[in-house]
Each structure stands twice: as structure tokens, then as C-alpha cells.
Structure 1
Amino acid sequence: MTDSLQGHKARKRFGQNFLHDDNIIQQIVAAFAPEQGQLAVEIGPGLGALTQYLLPALQHLHVVELDRDLAARLPQTLAGLGQLTIHQVDALAFNFSQLANQTPQLRVIGNLPYNISTPLIFHLLSHSQSIQDMVFMLQKEVVDRLGAEPDTADYGRLSVMVQYRCQVDWLLAVPPEAFNPAPKVQSAVVKLTPWQKSPYNCVNESLLQQVVSTAFNQRRKTLRNCLKGLASDADFEAVSINPNLRAEVLSVQQFVQLTNQLDSHVST
């Protein structure tokens, strides 16, 4: 596929940066470890850099590609490698759960467009009951946030909600020169594995999302000020959380405990 860039110009509006470093490509595929018969979907196959290795190993692969020109050329580029099912749609609007007959069985991989990576991850989390695991190339800054620990600069809403749903494993760093065109940022590959048995017992996940989002909305303010109207001093005391702390200090477990405490008001 050395000539695969010919005839296609990367489109900035789609956030296209095409991976071409074969060593990096092989490492990503090895980390994903595709096997024949597995149900898998690749987001943003682009010119097929990953797809050319995934498809023969799986024998059947779903791909989600918004760019109609790229979607049209994939069957020719990948002819004879296996059965390719192309969904020419926006990944943010795609129902990933529809591909899975049982749960969790869907495997997801992709070099995600950096301009939509965070909303796309949240969209995928809403389908996590159908997903076995996800391996993504992302901006390194986003990967750092995904796996960040409490009381660090990278820790925030994304960290809490992803870690609530998934185990996060950092896999490898990817330099800008591995892409064409080269992005202005560093990249990294991460594996997200939805919990089969969650370590967190949250009774109201929509309330958890509200609490976390509100708490980090003004992250320099104290929890008492951020959550005014949602949580009282008595609520904080009930779960042994100091209301004068900031959101970035709380662990995922503490957010869950606070949410469960607040939900008890709704339930009674």
C-alpha cells in the first residue's frame, strides 16, 4: 500500500492524518491480537493501513468511514483479503450495539480523528455493555487524561467516567512522523476494557454523570460551591468527604459513594 496516498488529499475537516509507519502499525495490530471469527469494527479505516492486516486475520471486519471517497476505494484496496462491511456514516451517530448479538462481544479499534475523540469515546461508553475491548490511537494528551490518577493536572471528568466504565492500559507512544500529514501533537495508543464485573456499585449512573460533570465544571472551586444545590454538608459528612476539597482530589470510588448518597434522597 505504498502508493495508497496517491489520489487522496487528507481532509482537515475530517481530522485526517494517515498512519504509514509499518512498525507502529504492526505493534498496534499485535496489541489488538485479532482472531478469525471475532466480531470487530474499525473506526476511520482511512487508506486501510490497519485494515490490511486486520481483515485477513478476522476474515470479516466492519468499518465505519465518514469520507465517501475513502469508503468507495476500500473494496478495491483490500480486495481478496476477506469480507469487508462498510458503514459510510458518522461514528458519533453509529449504533455500535446493533452489531452485537450477545454481550459483550464487539471489539473496536481505530485511529480516531483527534477533533472528535472525546465525544466519540463518550458515545462508545454508552454502548460498553456490547463491547469486549477497544484499542485506539489518540492524541497523547487525551490518553494521559484517560488514565490519570486523582490529584493530578490531567485528572478530570473524562478520567472519572472512563475509569468508571473501563480498565485503562497505556500501550505505546507514536511520533508525529508516523503520519502523513504529520500532526502537530504527540500521539499514543491506549486499550480500554469495559469491566465485566465493575469494581464500583453505582445505583444511578445518570446522576453520577451529572455529579462528575458539575464538580469539574469549575475545577478551581471547592466541592461545596460546585455542587451547591445537589449536595449538602450532611451528604459530604455521610460519605466522609471534605466539602472544602476540589473535585480533582476525589477518586472514582468517592464520586460513586457521593452519588449513591445523593440518590438516597431521590429514592426516599
Structure 2
Amino acid sequence: MANPPRHFPRKRFGQNFLEDTSVIGRIADAIQPREADHLVEIGPGQGALTEALITLGCRLDVVELDRDLVTGLLAAFSIYPGFKLHSADALKFDFASLAGDERPLRIVGNLPYNISTPLIFRLLEFAPLIQDMHFMLQLEVVQRLAAEPGSKAWGRLGIMAQYLCEVEHLFDVPPEAFYPPPKVQSAIVRLVPRQSSPWPECNPKSLKRVVQSAFAQRRKTLRNNLKGMMDDAGLQALGLDPGARAETLELVDFIHIANAING
């Protein structure tokens, strides 16, 4: 396949194109795409990972914001019957519109660092339609997604992601694997939406509200951050110390708080 013309990366789109073939191969191996799959690639860029996915004959929808890349992507991949390009902003794109064939979506992408967190939160809204997600992200974001209670990385992103998904930090990717090299380390993460929740009684909106409040000021205690939502007696009834900080609580503790408030 002829490669698309070299595109000068744009800072406003946060573009850093993956060019290391060994890393591309490792990502494809982690995804293990099959012919029967319905994949969705966010930000295909110049098509480095796209080529590794589409040649297996799967259905592949790609969502690309930079219109200057569209012509090259179409020229390179339109020969594949399963390929379809959507010139759109992933933050506004309706991913449910792709789920018409009853196959779960397998979402992949090298996400721009400047939109990765809001985009992940948006994709989690479509979790029931998604089989799994594999993303290249800033290492710090992957560490937050896969964080454990008590760590500095533990917070809103990890709690909400782990409530909805199994999260696995797969491997790190050095800056020199990209053009241009970013100033930060990158990593690959796998998120697998839970088919059935271990906490079916929990209201996700209540949990989101509790977590946002609990981490509103990280250095303050639960007593301060949850003021107006739950008093000391309510926290103590759940076996929690009102003087503790949110980062010391486990996921199930936040779920108990949300259930108590919602109940």
C-alpha cells in the first residue's frame, strides 16, 4: 500500500504520529482484531495503525477531525470494503450511530493528550455498546485510569473508569516512537466494559456526583468535601472516618456513600 503524503503535525490538534513499526505491531497484537470485528479508530492520523487493522477484513470506521488528512486516508484505505471515514470531532461524535449491526464496538486510538480525559468520559457513556477500548495515552493518564486506592493517581478518572470497566495498563511507549516526539511518556491501556455490574444497585449519576465532590479539594477531608451531602454520623455508619481524605477510600466505599445518599 502506498503511504499517504507526509503531513506536518498540527499543534492545535495535539498531533504526534506513531511511526515505530514495532510499537504498532505490539498494539495490533494486544487488540487481536478478527475479521468478524467492528472496530472504530479515533484519530487515525496518517493511517499507521489503520493499515494493521483493516487488512484483516474487519469493518473499520475511523473518526478524523483534521480535514487535511482525509484525502490521504481515503486514497489509502477506500479499496477495503469494510472501511468508512467520518470527518468529525470525536468529542461530539455519536458513537451509538455505528452500532446498528448488533456487533459490539472495539474502539482504538492514539488520543491527543489535550482531549484524552474528556473523550474517555464521553466514551464511557456508550459503555453498553462497547466490547473493549485500546488507547495510546499520556503515561500519567494511564496511571490515573489504572490507579489503586491510596496512591496520588487515585481520583475521579480512575474511580469512574473502574466502576464501568476492567482497566489494564499494558505497556509504555517512548517519545521517539512518534513524529514529532512528544515531551511526555506514553502508554497503552485496555478498558473492557463490565458486562454485568458487581454493584447493580448503584446509581452512576449519584456516584459521579459523590466522587466529584469528594475530590473537589484533594487535601481536604471527607467531612469538608461532602458537607451538605452527608454528615459525620452518616459516614461513620458506613464505617468511614469523616477526617479521612478521599484518596484513601476504595471504589466500593464511594458506591456505599452514593447508595446512602440516593436511598
TM-score (structure 2 length as normaliser): 0.96
Q: Would you identify which runs of 4 or more consecutive aligned residues in structure 1 move more than 6 Å?
A: none
**Aligned counterpart, 1:28:** 27
**Aligned counterpart, 1:37:** 36
Q: Does 1:118 align with 2:135?
A: no
Q: Does 1:136 align with 2:135?
A: yes
**Aligned counterpart, 2:230:** 231
Q: Secondary structure at the match of 2:241?
A: coil
Q: Secondary structure at the match of 1:87?
A: strand
How far 1:64 moved relative to its partner?
0.3
How far 1:96 moved relative to its partner?
1.0
For 1:55-97, what per-residue CA distance to the aligned partner results, in whole angstroms no more than 9, with x for missing partners? 1114321000000111222011225344311111100001112
Query: Are 2:57 and 2:80, in contact at CA under 8 Å, matched by a contact in 1?
Result: no
Letter of the 1:23 counterpart: S
State how many pairs are aligned: 263
Identity %: 51
Query: Are 2:38 and 2:58, in contact at CA under 8 Å, matched by a contact in 1?
Result: no
Deviates more, 1:71-80 or 1:161-170: 71-80
Letter of the 1:76 counterpart: A
Query: Are 1:55 and 1:82, in contact at CA under 8 Å, matched by a contact in 2?
Result: no
C-alpha distance in 1, partners of 2:168/2:5? 31
How far 1:176 moved relative to its partner?
0.2
C-alpha distance in 1, partners of 2:11/2:2? 22
How far 1:5 moved relative to its partner?
5.4
C-alpha distance in 1, partners of 2:100/2:78? 27
**Aligned counterpart, 1:63:** 62
Query: Are 2:144 and 2:158, in contact at CA under 8 Å, matched by a contact in 1?
Result: yes
Question: 1:1-268 maps to which residues of 2 (within 5 A)?
Answer: 4=4, 6=6, 8-101=7-100, 105-264=104-263
Query: Are 2:36 and 2:58, in contact at CA under 8 Å, matched by a contact in 1?
Result: yes
Q: 1:257–1:201: structure 2 CA closer, same or farther, 3 Å change rule?
A: farther
Q: Say what the alpha-carbon RMSD is for the aligned residues.
A: 1.6
Q: Secondary structure at the match of 2:196?
A: coil
Q: Secondary structure at the match of 2:131?
A: strand
C-alpha distance in 2, partners of 1:207/1:231? 13
Query: Are 1:17 and 1:180, in contact at CA under 8 Å, matched by a contact in 2?
Result: yes
How far 1:43 moved relative to its partner?
0.2
Query: Are 1:134 and 1:192, in contact at CA under 8 Å, matched by a contact in 2?
Result: yes
For 1:103-141, what per-residue CA distance to the aligned partner results, in whole angstroms no more than 9, with x for missing partners? 771110000011000000000001101101000000000
Q: 1:19–1:38: structure 2 CA closer, same or farther, 3 Å change rule?
A: same
Letter of the 2:245 counterpart: R
Q: Secondary structure at the match of 1:9?
A: coil
C-alpha distance in 1, partners of 2:249/2:81? 48
Q: Secondary structure at the match of 2:135?
A: strand
